[in-house]
């Protein structure tokens, strides 16, 4: 029988990246494959917004993944320099449009820091209730769309079923379902309506069993685990190096949460745990860990809301709302809050007028996108979809 290997140059097979695909170096250059460039997006559904990914592949293996952003730029920071302080709030809704309450809160807390305002306790509790409900709603979208990215449609339907109930609560409070302008400087636009507390408690009671349902449906599904475990491993060192925050940092094993580490509002009065990646299904810092942190965080947010409802004091939610927001001249502040996608930083400079001199925002999604190339190299093209979904980006916040 003829030797089918005769005449084929010997291949030096070396593993250049632990746990990833082997790179085969051939002596004969004529047998080397050509690099191919694939554009994924900007209309591709798995890019989670208007994003173009320039992927350079050798066959099915990703050699480089270059994100191209800027398709959704709305000049938020420049707009803020031409609006009064309260008028900026609706524009913050439209950055991370899946977590508008949290955006409102971060900006308002920065302005209140400039004004040195004392906020009524009832307002503080209401803000935390709304922020944590919005965190659950945001993570539900992450859970549902991630399953759909990897071929499972049912989780999306389950996630939006619960999300609609949270939107019902927001609508009965302020009239809006997705973009709210609810958290104002010094207060909130509306007090909690009659029936809100009872309806929220009813939702929390039902939601307790939903997390197990999600885990049975997707988290421990064999196909889902094989698509996400040991894929896109982000070491803790790289997470710190690229300044990742929020669930993406905690997925790499760090127990860092601003609500615990540097408590603001009334978070220091509430008990909750900080979920972090442990490598239960693969390696610490892989796609599955980042996904699971968000699932666990929904349970912790439900705990926070329940405690806040128990402790909710009476009071006037408009008592501290200033008639004219005009911070002192030549003062500035930087405030960061723990948003669903990480630490949202807001930097404000005042020139003594009722219009901010400068407003700048540090986006957690922008820093998460910067590590995408590192995570993709050596993986298959299909894994790039799993990796970008695990980072849970929103382009409205990246471009601003």
pLDDT of the chain, 400 residues: tens digit per residue? 444 334 434 434 333 444 555 555 555 555 556 789 989 878 777 778 888 999 999 888 999 999 999 888 889 999 999 999 999 999 999 999 999 999 999 999 999 999 999 999 999 999 999 999 999 999 999 999 999 999 899 999 999 999 999 999 999 999 999 999 999 999 999 999 999 999 999 999 999 889 999 999 999 999 999 999 999 999 999 999 999 999 999 999 999 999 999 999 999 999 999 999 998 998 999 999 999 999 999 999 999 999 999 999 999 999 999 989 999 999 999 999 999 999 999 999 999 999 999 999 999 999 999 999 999 999 999 999 999 999 999 998 998 8
Among 187, 182, 125, residue whose Cα is nearest residue 323 = 187
Dihedral over alpha carbons 334, 335, 338, 339 (to 10 degrees)? -80
Tokens of 305: 């809301």
Starting from the edge strand earliest in sequence, which strands make up the sheet with 329-339, in order?
A: 329-339, 342-351, 358-362
Total residues belonging to the chain: 400
Architecture of the domain made up of 76-399: Orthogonal Bundle (1.10)
- Burial string for 215-231 (b: 16+ CB within 10 Å, else e) reads eebbbebeebbebbbbb
pTM for the model stands at 0.89
Distance of alpha carbon 342 from alpha carbon 248, whole angstroms: 8
Domain ranges of the chain: 76-399
User: What pLDDT score was predicted for residue 15?
Assistant: 36
Residue 202 CB: number of other CB atoms within 10 A?
11
Tokens of 382: 């299909």
pLDDT at site 200: 96
Q: In whole angstroms, what is the distance from residue 309 CA to residue 246 CA?
A: 25
Give the pLDDT score at 30. Answer: 54
Rounded distance between C-alpha atoms, residue 243 and residue 370, angstroms: 9
The tokens describing 316, both together, are 């006037």
336 exposure class (CB count in 10 Å sphere: 0-12, 13-18, 19+): buried
Q: For position 314, what pLDDT does the model report? A: 93
Give the pairing type, strands 329-339 and 342-351.
Answer: antiparallel
Q: What is the CA 325 to chain-centroid distance, rounded?
A: 30
Distance of alpha carbon 98 from alpha carbon 258, whole angstroms: 20
Name the phi and psi angles at 302, rounded to 5. Answer: -65, -40
> Which burial class, exposed, middle or buried, applies to 14 when counting CB atoms under 10 A from its CB (0-12, 13-18, 19+)?
exposed
Please tell me the distance from the alpha carbon of residue 227 to that of residue 221, in angstroms, as a whole number: 10
């Amino acid at each position: 029988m003829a030797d089918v290997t005769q005449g084929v140059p010997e291949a030096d097979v070396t593993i250049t990246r632990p746990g990833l695909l082997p790179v085969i170096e051939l002596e004969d250059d004529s047998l080397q494959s050509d690099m191919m460039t694939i554009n994924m997006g900007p209309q591709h559904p798995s890019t989670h917004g208007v994003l173009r990914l320039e992927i350079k592949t050798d066959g099915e293996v990703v050699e480089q993944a270059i994100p191209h952003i800027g398709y959704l730029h709305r000049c938020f920071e420049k707009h803020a320099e031409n609006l009064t302080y309260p008028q900026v709030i609706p524009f913050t809704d439209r950055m991370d449009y899946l977590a508008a309450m949290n955006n409102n809160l971060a900006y308002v807390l920065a302005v209140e820091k400039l004004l040195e305002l004392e906020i009524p306790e009832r307002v503080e509790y209401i803000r935390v209730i709304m922020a944590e409900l919005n965190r659950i709603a945001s993570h539900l979208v992450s859970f549902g769309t991630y399953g759909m990215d990897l071929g499972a449609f049912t989780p999306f339907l389950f996630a939006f079923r619960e999300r609609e109930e949270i939107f019902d609560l927001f609508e009965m409070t302020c009239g809006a379902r997705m973009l709210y302008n609810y958290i104002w400087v010094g207060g909130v636009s509306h007090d909690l309506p009659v029936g809100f507390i009872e309806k929220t408690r009813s939702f929390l009671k039902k939601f307790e069993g939903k997390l197990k349902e999600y885990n049975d449906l997707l988290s421990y599904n064999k196909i889902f685990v094989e698509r996400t475990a040991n894929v896109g491993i982000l070491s803790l060192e790289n997470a710190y190096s690229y300044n990742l925050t929020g669930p993406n940092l905690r997925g790499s094993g760090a127990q860092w949460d601003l609500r615990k580490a540097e408590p603001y509002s009334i978070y220091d009065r509430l008990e909750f745990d900080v979920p972090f990646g442990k490598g239960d299904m693969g390696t610490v810092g892989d796609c599955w860990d980042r996904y699971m942190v968000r699932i666990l965080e929904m349970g912790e947010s439900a705990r926070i809301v329940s405690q806040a409802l128990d402790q909710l004091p009476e009071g006037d939610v408009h008592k501290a709302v200033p008639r004219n927001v005009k911070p002192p001249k030549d003062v500035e502040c930087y405030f960061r809050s723990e948003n669903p996608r990480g630490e949202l930083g807001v930097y404000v400079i005042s020139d003594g007028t009722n219009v901010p001199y400068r407003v700048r925002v540090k986006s957690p999604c922008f820093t998460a996108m910067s590590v995408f190339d590192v995570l993709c190299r050596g993986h298959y093209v299909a894994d790039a979809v799993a990796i970008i979904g695990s980072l849970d980006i929103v382009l409205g916040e990246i471009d601003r």
